[in-house]
Amino acid sequence: MVRPTQYLHAQREPVTPRPAATVLLLRDSARGIEVLMTRRSPTASFAPGAYVFPGGAIDAADAQAHAFAARRPTQDDVRLTQAIAAIRESFEELGVLIARHADGRAPDDKDLAALDRRQPFFEQMRGRGLVLAADQVYVLAHWITDRDLPRRFDVPFLVARMPVGQTPVADEAEQFEPVWVRPADALSRHEAGSFFMIFPTIRTLQRLAKFDTVDAVLAACASEQPLWTSCPRAGFLNGADARYMEHEMPFGELELVSPDGQAVHHLDWRTDQAVPLLRNITRVTAPNPGVMTGPGTNSYLVGDPDTGYICIDPGPADAEHLERIWRAANGDIRLIACTHSHPDHSPGAKPLQARCKAKPPILGLPSAATARAASEFTPDRALADGEELSVEGGGHRHTLKVIPTPGHAANHLCLVLLEDGLLFSGDHVLNGSTTVVDPPDGDMNDYLESLDKLLAACKTYGIDFILPAHGHVLGFAPKAIAHLKAHRLQREAKIVEAMRKRPQGALEDWVELAYDDVPPRMWPVAKRSLLAHVQRIEALGLARQDG
């Protein structure tokens, strides 16, 4: 866990979210699903002027109205209360009533005409002999309003079929202009600037657009569990507010830099200046973007002005990049550590060493005989498994523990910042892509075993975040590593199937089957990892060469 003293920004307690409920009223049309949306008042305290789904805060009366509602056997009290609140809100805001008589009849025009949206809802239901059809309302998603906002809600997004024969009429106080719209059309109109929506609405419509019918949506929600849960995080991209869900690449970095959720961090990739992530972590990205390097190679400085700095992966021998590293450390670099010897990671070590007056030692693992010529590397001293590197001063200490992780390269290692539970993963774990395992220096079996080693390290050292050599910081470290291994094994299963389908084939034949979800332009790169998988498959006895 990161030491609170290392945060860049003073932390504040986010506003406690209020329980609420929202319902997506759906209907089938000739062009696909349509959803009912309304425009909020321009003077509303939350999301003014936005197109939304009907809903609002859960009242105490909603939890006391279970006797007025029908429920599914699997619908617990919490879900029932949420459904009741959503039904009440959809009636108060739009005059839409999800209810039926005790004998199963739908409310008729006489029932609807007798009801007054401004009068107590549950008393009117009882007076008309109506039962709320909460058993027809299902949970789709669970959203918690972003931590940086002054008004927050903990809200399930529920779904229900629009009652037949009813016409929505806005209350003209909170909601205006009810409109039926296809999710894809709402998204297009929002993109064009004519249909303003807030982040959770946009993300919900993006996922809803994948369904063809209302029945398909309701079937997907039958488990009583939300299809996703999210409390987004905010930062800045190209100078504008940008928000991200947990599965999206920048989320982990926003969580690391601003755990309380304040929108303070800029996500733009800068190669012209150093980017502080914590008081003791600075990232300097080399200007070498590309297919293999993503936005560029991340060099990291670990330390502070009192302790001096350890430089991790000085990167390519780019004079301007090395100058930026040196200046970010104010020239006080005590150690240089290379995660491996590939040409975008280690060539900058010697010129950076020469730039420093104290000549910090270059540490790492020497390249193996299997390394390509451009990846030959000899450190001043080879690091040992479990060795600790530290800088100390002014009452502060920053300690990196060495974990050899062969696989991507024979001499690959990772480093754990013990005091803060951070993993510097080099190329072993990346954000946004899987690393290439290129034989003979790369070995897939070693790679998978090293993932297991890192997963164990997460538990031992309380690792929450991964700082990769390419891409943003990853959060949920154990989950990210487990997902990466599962992905590799799923890919391997596809390769085995490709080999069975084309037993006389070669890499060129198998790659188009096993990597059919990857653009063909990437197949030459994919073939390198495919070869590593084939070698592992043969070693496991799942296939053998024959002629």
Express each pLDDT in 178-193 by its tens digit.
Answer: 999 999 999 999 999 9
Q: Phi, psi (5° rounding) for residue 337?
A: -120, 130
**What length does the chain have?**
547
Convert the pLDDT of each residue in 475-487 to its tens digit. 999 999 999 999 9
In the predicted structure, residue 323 carries a pLDDT above the cut 90:
yes
Name the helix (H) or strand (E) containing 77: helix 77-94
What CATH number labels 18-231? 3.90.79.10
pLDDT above 90 as % of the chain: 92
Distance of alpha carbon 153 from alpha carbon 18, whole angstroms: 5
- 46 CB-near residues (< 8 Å, 6+ apart): 40, 151, 153
In the predicted structure, residue 544 carries a pLDDT above the cut 80:
no
Distance of alpha carbon 537 from alpha carbon 543, whole angstroms: 6
Confidence of residue 381 (pLDDT cuts 50, 70, 90): very high
Q: Residue 46 has what pLDDT?
A: 79
Give me the sheet containing 413-417, strands edge to edge: 388-393, 396-404, 413-417, 422-426, 465-468
Instruction: Give one DSSP letter per residue of 177-191, joined into a string.
Output: EEEEE-HHHHHHHHH
What CATH number labels 269-484? 3.60.15.10
Q: How far is CA 194 from CA 45, 134, 190, in A?
A: 21, 34, 6
Distance of alpha carbon 357 from alpha carbon 272, whole angstroms: 24
Q: Residue 545 has what pLDDT?
A: 67
3-state secondary structure of 218: helix
Convert the pLDDT of each residue in 209-226 to its tens digit. 999 999 999 999 999 999
Residue range 123-129: average pLDDT? 92
3-state secondary structure of 416: strand
Confidence of residue 237 (pLDDT cuts 50, 70, 90): very high
Q: What is the pTM of this model?
A: 0.93
3-state secondary structure of 192: coil
In the predicted structure, residue 339 carries a pLDDT above the cut 90:
yes
Mean pLDDT computed over every residue of the chain: 95
Least confident of 42-51, 419-428, 538-547: 538-547
Name the helix (H) or strand (E) containing 21: strand 18-29
Q: Residue 175 has what pLDDT?
A: 81
Q: Residue 541 has what pLDDT?
A: 87
The end-to-end CA distance of the chain, in Å, is 55
Q: Residue 546 has what pLDDT?
A: 66
Least confident of 254-258, 337-341, 401-405, 537-541: 537-541
Distance of alpha carbon 155 from alpha carbon 54, whole angstroms: 12
Task: Kindly give the pairing relationship between strand 396-404 and strand 229-230.
Answer: unpaired
Confidence of residue 520 (pLDDT cuts 50, 70, 90): very high
Q: How far is CA 238 from CA 172, 189, 242, 246, 506, in A?
A: 37, 22, 9, 21, 45
In the predicted structure, residue 547 carries a pLDDT above the cut 60:
no
Name the helix (H) or strand (E) containing 352: helix 349-355
Q: Residue 258 has what pLDDT?
A: 96
Q: Residue 42 has what pLDDT?
A: 84
Convert the pLDDT of each residue in 133-175 to its tens digit. 999 999 999 999 999 999 999 999 999 999 999 999 988 877 8
In the predicted structure, residue 176 carries a pLDDT above the cut 90:
no
What are the structure tokens assigned to 314, written together? 């000085």
Distance of alpha carbon 140 from alpha carbon 136, whole angstroms: 13
3-state secondary structure of 310: strand
In the predicted structure, residue 495 carries a pLDDT above the cut 70:
yes
Please, which residues bridge with residue 24 across strands?
Answer: 159
Distance of alpha carbon 366 from alpha carbon 435, whole angstroms: 21
What are the structure tokens assigned to 213, written together? 């019918």
Distance of alpha carbon 47 from alpha carbon 117, whole angstroms: 23
Distance of alpha carbon 338 from alpha carbon 404, whole angstroms: 12
Confirm if 413 and 426 have CB atoms less than 8 A apart. yes
Domain ranges in the chain are: 18-231, 269-484, 488-539
Residue range 492-512: average pLDDT? 94
Please, which residues bridge with residue 416 across strands?
Answer: 401, 423
Q: Residue 469 has what pLDDT?
A: 97
Q: Residue 13 has what pLDDT?
A: 94
Residue range 92-120: average pLDDT? 92
SS3 of 141-176 = EEEECCCCCCCCEEEEEEEEECCCCCCCCCCCCCEE
3-state secondary structure of 451: helix
Confirm if 473 and 431 have CB atoms less than 8 A apart. yes
